[in-house]
Amino acid sequence: MNYGAGRPGNRVRTRVRVEPQAHGDLERRDGAVADAVVDFVRRLRADRTNRALRLSPLRMAGDDADLCLAQPDPRCMVLVLVTDGGDEMRVLAVRDGTRARDELARLTVEINPVSGAVEVVDQTEAGATVVSLRGRAAPLFASYDDQALLDLGVVRSLLPALREITSDEQFKKLLTHNLPELTRDVLLALREGVSVEDVRRQITDTWRADEEVDPRDWARAARRAVSRAETDDDAVLGALGRSFDAWRLFLHPEQQRLATGDFKGSAKVTGGPGTGKTVVALHRVRHLVERLPPGHSRPVLLTTYNTNLALELTERLRQLGGDELLRRVDVRSVDALALAVVEESRSEVGRPLDDDAAMNLWHTVRYETDLLDYDADFLDAEFKHVVLANRCGTWDAYRRVGRSGRPRISTAQRHEVWQLVQAYRAQLDGTPRRTTYALIADRAAELEQRRMARIEEQARYKEDEQGGRDLVHREAGSGMWLTPRYRHIVVDEAQDLSASHWRMLRAMVRRGPNDIFLAGDAHQRIYGSRVVLGHQGIEIRGRASRRLTLNYRTTRQILGSANRLIEGATFDDLDTGTDSLDGYRSVLTGLAPQFWRAPDRLTEMRAVATLIKERRELHGTAYSAMAVSVPDGAAAQEFANVLLREFAVPVVELGRRGVSSEEDAVRIGTMHRFKGLEFQRVFLTSVGEGQAPHQCIEQYRHTNPDRYRQEEQRARSLVFVAATRARDELVVTWSGRASRFLPPDADRTAHRAADLLGHDGPPSGSSGSAAA
Ligand SMILES: Nc1ncnc2c1ncn2[C@@H]1O[C@H](COP(=O)(O)OP(=O)(O)OP(=O)(O)O)[C@@H](O)[C@H]1O
């Protein structure tokens, strides 16, 4: 077959892409196969007339397309769809071993009429799932007729095999095959009892092609970007191997639409943990940068809640687009940004106290004023989320302000709180002058709002007085003309930003298309309190607000346990509405989470150390892929001592600098520090009654039920965040009685930690059995 239009010796370049299913094939194979395929794609791209690559025809796919086979190296073969006279090629499937040719030849290839994607089904493989187990039970999907399944996007050629499936065991086996993603998503959701209408809305519609699909037009199908972030970058392609992070290349269509969409104003992506919100935010940044006019400035801001997450984002952005991309982006935590604004203004605000010192100051003020009925946590939150959020500068303003979502207090109590606030500010204004990050954000918001007002005024002047002409030299010359700080702002972990942060960000970019893009999840709110974006001038309407539902991180088993933690509670959608985790699911399956109960703390710590060592020795898991969550800094110290001194397990604390340490050491940190991160194995410790939630909230149970409910929800979210960091395995431990957040029978069904610590070493099965 000759697809080389050029004369011999002339290189003929071509567009070659690796389809998601072929990528799935590579992930299941030896790294050497991936290397060979990557090399083949690269050479094919450079010159398809290269004789050494030899595409051999298999059959016609349609009038305008051929299916060909090629052998990148003696170990493996690939199936390639060739269209446009050879200008466009898609690697559809990869097989290795002696039967590779036969296996590729029997694949069914079709265009999905819903998504327009080219999909591959191995009928023999799918059929084999059911043959041996065929029984008399009713088929699992009997209540959906063929047309209903096709309309939802299930690939037609799978229907015969699907009709034979009568048990969950067979269904699970079918899912182990490399099925088209849309089919897999739809079937999983139906099996989980999601209604046809909801499956259509939550899954099918997100895959639907933007145009009518002609299932015979192969050339069109091959050109259609269905589920990928396009790249022709050889360096990125070169990473296509076992260690390759799929997200860099392949986006789910819903993620893709958000990342590359054009929005009239601001846009928002929500979704449960692990649904790829951060991935979307990163691709969004790249998309925005690619559309910038050439220059050397950094007109795109990527910001997040804290410094270690900002470092993590910088690293991931570098992976996505290298230093070239980073050069146009300012990546900073919101507080670092606010501090820079305040410093630039040369306002005398004093030295910022860290969070612990700021909290201690509340303790001091309580004793000084002798108003001991209000604890430091409450006062700190009241100050940030009511006083600063609503800019209450006087008692009169505070007396009248709406405190929705905050624990109720009487007017007399408000007055006392106001006195405490005054005393707190007086302490900060003393000598030496000090401040807090909350106050810095408030000040930065004020400065930026003033700055933006001047920019708007100048713009009006430009239009009104000068008809928009003759200003370039004045702006450049006098230096008095200001420009907005950024063209686009992208925010991750949006649920934890305060009203002051939003006011500042709103004022850093002019209102207009694609001004602010934010990603967040109220289920994971552990710092802030609810902020209604609409009230901060950030309007998000209709299609500019989307929710992702497919979890890429966590197995279904872990997710099931984590979801149970937050069942029944209600959460906001970062705006005026409510959010839920409807349709939230994972396609990964694995071990059930393990539950271990200990009679006392030391036994618990020793059991955790034993389990960690066991995973290292039996499964070869690197220490750095494991993390232990603890309730507070003191517990982190205790755990670190036991792990290191008694068990010689290296540990590193998840400090402000996060996980950046190169050391092969187990990560230990409070649950707060787990935010936004992920680990292969997570040990969620101290989940006992009295610890999660902390027993100190009991004081509010009867005296202040609102506060009690809020503290409990916050504690729940915290455990939820920590649990959903686990990729492959979640181990939950406690001493004493199990927390109310755990299943009611946890104490009865959990493994006994004491059994682990006998002299004969750990009992068999502790590294893989399902418990509770
Ligand atoms: N399209 C994709 N293909 C493959 N992997 C993906 C994709 N999208 C996300 N992932 C992977 O899923 C995991 C979670 O992604 P990410 O951190 O973006 O989720 P998130 O929604 O921000 O999570 P959280 O809210 O828990 O912080 C990461 O390991 C990421 O690489």
pLDDT at position 418:
96
Percent of the chain with pLDDT over 90: 38
Ligand 1 site, residue 586, Cβ cutoff 6 A? no
| 406 within some domain | yes
Same-domain pairing of 702 and 613: yes
Which numbered atom of ligand 1 lies nearest the CA of 251? 1
Tell me the CA–centroid distance for residue 603 and ligand 1, in Å: 35
| 326 within some domain | yes
Q: Whose CA is nearest to atom 27 of ligand 1?
A: 676
pLDDT at position 468:
52
Mutate which of 251, 553, 717 for ligand 1? The one with the most ligand atoms within 8 Å of its CB, which is 553
Q: Is 512 annotated as a binding residue?
A: no
Tell me the CA–centroid distance for residue 586 and ligand 1, in Å: 11
Tell me the CA–centroid distance for residue 280 and ligand 1, in Å: 8
Q: How far apart, in whole angstroms, are the C-alpha atoms of residue 587 and residue 648? A: 37
Tokens standing for residue 624: 């750095």
Tell me the CA–centroid distance for residue 314 and ligand 1, in Å: 16
Mutate which of 21, 255, 278 for ligand 1? The one with the most ligand atoms within 8 Å of its CB, which is 278
Same-domain pairing of 360 and 405: yes
Ligand 1 site, residue 248, Cβ cutoff 6 A? no
Q: Is 273 annotated as a binding residue?
A: yes
| 219 within some domain | no
* Count of alpha carbons within 13 angstroms of residue 308, beta-carbon side: 16
Among 79, 112, 145, identify where a domain stops.
112
pLDDT at position 467:
59
In this prediction, residue 266 has a pLDDT band, given cuts at 50, 70 and 90, of: very high
| 529 within some domain | yes
Q: Is 590 annotated as a binding residue?
A: no
Q: Is 274 annotated as a binding residue?
A: yes
Q: Cβ of 406: how many Cβ atoms within 10 Å?
A: 17
Mean pLDDT of 677-701: 89
| 762 within some domain | no
Ligand 1 site, residue 678, Cβ cutoff 6 A? yes
265 near 518, Cβ under 8 Å? no
Same-domain pairing of 383 and 277: no
Which range among 269-273, 452-456, 544-548, 765-769 shows the weakest confidence by mean pLDDT?
A: 765-769
In this prediction, residue 708 has a pLDDT band, given cuts at 50, 70 and 90, of: confident
Of 697 and 268, more confident? 268
Same-domain pairing of 731 and 660: yes
Tell me the CA–centroid distance for residue 316 and ligand 1, in Å: 11
659 near 316, Cβ under 8 Å? no
Q: Cβ of 725: how many Cβ atoms within 10 Å?
A: 24
Tell me the CA–centroid distance for residue 274 and ligand 1, in Å: 5
Of 67 and 713, more confident? 67
In this prediction, residue 449 has a pLDDT band, given cuts at 50, 70 and 90, of: very high
Q: Is 124 annotated as a binding residue?
A: no
| 100 within some domain | yes
Q: For residue 699, what are the CA distances in angstroms to 209, 374, 503, 696, 704? A: 56, 12, 35, 6, 8
Q: Whose CA is nearest to atom 12 of ligand 1?
A: 552
Whether the pLDDT of residue 633 is over 80: the answer is yes
Q: How far apart, in whole angstroms, are the C-alpha atoms of residue 486 and residue 759? A: 63
Ligand 1 site, residue 674, Cβ cutoff 6 A? no
pLDDT at position 235:
37
Same-domain pairing of 733 and 612: yes
Total tally of structural domains belonging to the chain: 5
Ligand 1 site, residue 276, Cβ cutoff 6 A? yes
Whether the pLDDT of residue 770 is over 70: the answer is no
The per-residue pLDDT for range 483-528, each reduced to its tens digit, is: 899 999 999 999 999 999 999 999 999 999 999 999 999 888 877 6
Mutate which of 184, 242, 243, 247 for ligand 1? The one with the most ligand atoms within 8 Å of its CB, which is 247
Whether the pLDDT of residue 768 is over 60: the answer is no
pLDDT at position 573:
72
Same-domain pairing of 393 and 542: no
Which range among 168-172, 184-188, 379-383, 476-480 shows the weakest confidence by mean pLDDT?
A: 476-480
Q: Is 322 annotated as a binding residue?
A: no
Which numbered atom of ligand 1 lies nearest the CA of 281? 18
In this prediction, residue 428 has a pLDDT band, given cuts at 50, 70 and 90, of: very high
| CATH assignment of the domain containing 53 | 3.30.2310.20
Which numbered atom of ligand 1 lies nearest the CA of 519? 22
| 493 within some domain | yes
In this prediction, residue 247 has a pLDDT band, given cuts at 50, 70 and 90, of: low
Whether the pLDDT of residue 234 is over 60: the answer is no
User: Mean pLDDT: which of 341-345, 348-352, 455-459, 488-492 is highest?
Assistant: 488-492
* Count of alpha carbons within 13 angstroms of residue 745, beta-carbon side: 3
The per-residue pLDDT for range 15-64, each reduced to its tens digit, is: 888 887 887 788 778 778 877 888 888 888 888 777 778 888 888 887 78
Same-domain pairing of 156 and 282: no
pLDDT at position 417:
95
Among 518, 546, 579, identify where a domain stops.
579
Tell me the CA–centroid distance for residue 571 and ligand 1, in Å: 21
Mean pLDDT of 68-95: 90
In this prediction, residue 2 has a pLDDT band, given cuts at 50, 70 and 90, of: low
Q: Whose CA is nearest to atom 2 of ligand 1?
A: 247
In this prediction, residue 530 has a pLDDT band, given cuts at 50, 70 and 90, of: confident
Mean pLDDT of 534-549: 84
Whether the pLDDT of residue 441 is over 70: the answer is yes
Tell me the CA–centroid distance for residue 511 and ligand 1, in Å: 29
E strands, 234-281, in order? 267-271
In this prediction, residue 243 has a pLDDT band, given cuts at 50, 70 and 90, of: very low
Q: Is 276 annotated as a binding residue?
A: yes
pLDDT at position 659:
57
pLDDT at position 660:
61
Q: For residue 29, what are the CA distances in angstroms to 34, 74, 409? A: 7, 15, 62
Mean pLDDT of 335-348: 92
pLDDT at position 129:
54
Ligand 1 site, residue 553, Cβ cutoff 6 A? yes
Task: Provide long-range contacts, Cβ within 8 A and 24+ apart, for 81-86.
Answer: 81/109, 81/118, 81/218, 81/222, 82/3, 82/55, 83/218, 83/219, 83/222, 83/223, 84/219, 84/222, 84/223, 85/3, 85/5, 86/3, 86/4, 86/5, 86/12, 86/14, 86/48
Ligand 1 site, residue 274, Cβ cutoff 6 A? yes
Q: Whose CA is nearest to atom 29 of ligand 1?
A: 553
| 158 within some domain | yes
On average, the pLDDT of the chain sits at 84
Percent of the chain with pLDDT over 70: 87
pLDDT at position 569:
67
**Whether complex ipTM tops 0.90:** yes
Same-domain pairing of 35 and 7: yes
Tokens standing for residue 137: 């039970």
Whether the pLDDT of residue 703 is over 70: the answer is yes
Find the domain containing 12 and state its range.
Answer: 1-112
Mutate which of 27, 181, 552, 581 for ligand 1? The one with the most ligand atoms within 8 Å of its CB, which is 552
Which three-class secondary structure state does DSSP give residue 562? helix
Tell me the CA–centroid distance for residue 750 and ligand 1, in Å: 31
Mean pLDDT of 61-90: 89
Which numbered atom of ligand 1 lies nearest the CA of 492? 22
Ligand 1 site, residue 304, Cβ cutoff 6 A? no
Mean pLDDT of 606-617: 93
Same-domain pairing of 103 and 134: no
Ligand 1 site, residue 255, Cβ cutoff 6 A? yes
pTM of the model: 0.69
Same-domain pairing of 403 and 271: no
Q: Is 271 annotated as a binding residue?
A: yes
pLDDT at position 589:
67
Q: What is the DSSP annotation of 117-129? A: -EEEE-HHHHHHH
The per-residue pLDDT for range 553-563, each reduced to its tens digit, is: 887 788 888 87
* Count of alpha carbons within 13 angstroms of residue 623, beta-carbon side: 21
Among 432, 460, 492, identify where a domain stops.
432
Of 80 and 44, more confident? 80
Which numbered atom of ligand 1 lies nearest the CA of 279? 18
Same-domain pairing of 361 and 458: no
Mean pLDDT of 179-190: 86
Tokens standing for residue 44: 């094919």
Whether the pLDDT of residue 762 is over 60: the answer is no
Tell me the CA–centroid distance for residue 548 and ligand 1, in Å: 11
pLDDT at position 5:
45
Which three-class secondary structure state does DSSP give residue 726? strand
Same-domain pairing of 538 and 422: no
Ligand 1 site, residue 278, Cβ cutoff 6 A? yes
Q: Whose CA is nearest to atom 25 of ligand 1?
A: 273
